[in-house]
Every structure is written in C-alpha cells, then in structure tokens.
Amino acid sequence: WSLTSLKLLVGREKVARAVLMRSRTLLLATSAFSLSLVSAFPTPALSALSTRSSASSTRSSITGLEMAARLPKLVAFDLDATLWYPEMYQLWGGGAPFKPNKDGTLSDKSGTRCYLMGASAKILSHLRTDPQWKDTKVAYVSCTDEPDWAEECMDLFRAGSLSLQQTVDIKEIYKANKNKHFQSLHKKTGIPYEDMIFFDNENHNCVNVQPLGVTCIYTPKGMTQEAWEQGLAKHAKAEVSAR
C-alpha cells in the first residue's frame, strides 16, 4: 500500500464513524421526542382526541341524513345520449325491430349496437328498489326523433331485474322546448319545480328548464355516477339556500 492510499483509507473510516455517531444521536432524539408526546398526551387526553374524532364522524353522518331528507320528489332523465347511445336518429337506415344481446346491449335491424350509458342501469334500479326513494317519481323527458323506437328500447333495456319501462312513472316524449315538458310534469303531479331534478346531455335544454326552478345537470358524458352525485348535492344545497 502506498502512503497516499493509507491516508485515503483512514480518512474514509473517520467519515464513516462520524456518520454513524450522527445517526445514533438522531435516533436518541427521536425516541426522546416520542416519550415527550406520550407524557404530553396521557390516556384521558387521547380519549378526548378520540371523542372529537367520533363527533366529527357523527357530524358527517348527520350531513348525509340531512341530504337524504332533501331528496327530490321527481327525477327526470333525457333519453338519447343521456341514458343510452346512439341517439335514435343515428340509427336511420336501421332502427326497429331491436334484438337484446347477452351482454345487455341491443342490436337494431342493421346490426348497430345500442347500450346504456355510464351508471344508467344502476341508478334507475336504485330509484325503484331503495326504500328511501319510494315517494319519488321518475320521468323520461325527450325530444327523440323516433319515439316508437325509443319505446321499444325501453321495453328491452334492463335496469337490474326491471325493464326501463318498469322504472318510469311519467313520460313526456315529443318535440318541444323542454320547458313545456316540465310545465306538463308540474301540472300532472303537483310537484313544485324546486323538488325536481333533471339530467340532460344538451346544455340548451338545461338552460331552457332551469328558470322554472328545476335543478338541472348537464351530462355531456351521459348518466355517470359522478353526474348523479353532483345532481343530488346541487339539489340539497339549493334546498338549504331556499330556507
């Protein structure tokens, strides 16, 4: 070994010892800090912290219950490109009769497949089977170009064990400004506009209906779970603001 190599080796050993000593010092300091925390927060204090955490959870639960108490009395859905896709006019050249497929889709006479969008089936089934929605009416509000084809699709599409026909209470399916559809719904049901919520993939329909006081949710991606939750939250917030 050369003298230079030996000096280098000794230097490295000194650095290693210094690093080791510093690590031990930090470890001791950390242990001391942990002990000080235990001393600062004895069992009663920790119990108080736990109680505050439980209270926070309770407040969250109450908020959820309050939101449930403000559920809309009428939930309305557009059909084309909100509950299903393609839109009926996009099936021109095919269309009825439709045939159900094993995967839950439908095929028109030209072989084009139609499917329920997003969480449509789950949401419609939930509205009909969950007891908290027993006092809420479901409406289909559409200006579809082919209402007869839409009726057949409602017969064949499934939402759990139910057809889409079995999940709806009222249908307003005709060409008109959708403001008129909701005036008709209000007249038939007596439900205030403020107790209605409406999902539609065309923003201009939301713009036309919203002045009545209906909570409107624009759904460019169809009836997704996110849109559903957004709608319920928006409606609950509007209810609170109105009080």
Determine the pLDDT at residue 7. 46
Lowest mean pLDDT among 61-70, 84-93, 134-143, 151-160: 61-70
- What pTM did the predictor assign? 0.73
Catalytic position from the list 78, 108, 195, 200: 78
46 pLDDT more than 50:
no
Q: What is the dihedral of CA 116, 122, 123, 126, to 10 degrees?
A: 150
Residue 113 near residue 101, CB atoms below 8 Å:
yes
State mean pLDDT over 169-180. Answer: 98
175-211 tens-digit pLDDT: 999 999 999 999 999 999 999 999 999 999 999 999 9
Q: What is the C-alpha separation between 13 and 225, in angstroms, rounded?
A: 62
Q: Which band of pLDDT confidence, cut at 50, 70 and 90, is reported for residue 53?
A: very low
Catalytic residue among 80, 108, 195, 200: 80
Section 100-119 average pLDDT:
98
- Pair 35, 99: CB distance under 8 Å: no
* Residue scoring higher pLDDT (113 or 27): 113
User: How many residues make up the chain in this entry?
Assistant: 243
- Give CA–CA dist 123/136, Å, rounded: 13
Percentage of the chain lying above the pLDDT 90 cut: 68
Using pLDDT thresholds of 50, 70 and 90, give the confidence band for residue 238.
confident
Give the model's pLDDT for residue 195. 97
Question: Looking at residue 103, what is its pLDDT?
Answer: 97
For residue 232, the model assigns a pLDDT of 95
* Catalytic status, residue 80: yes
Crossing angle of helices 225-242 and 43-69, in 10° steps, is 90
DSSP-assigned letters across all residues of 26-67: HHHHHHHHHHHHHHHS-HHHHHHHHHHHHHHHHHHHHHHHHH
Peptide bond into 97 cis (omega under 30): yes
Mean pLDDT of the chain: 81
Tell me: the pLDDT tens digits for 58-79? Answer: 233 324 544 566 899 999 999 9
For residue 17, how many C-alpha atoms fall within 13 Å in the half-sphere facing its CB?
A: 6
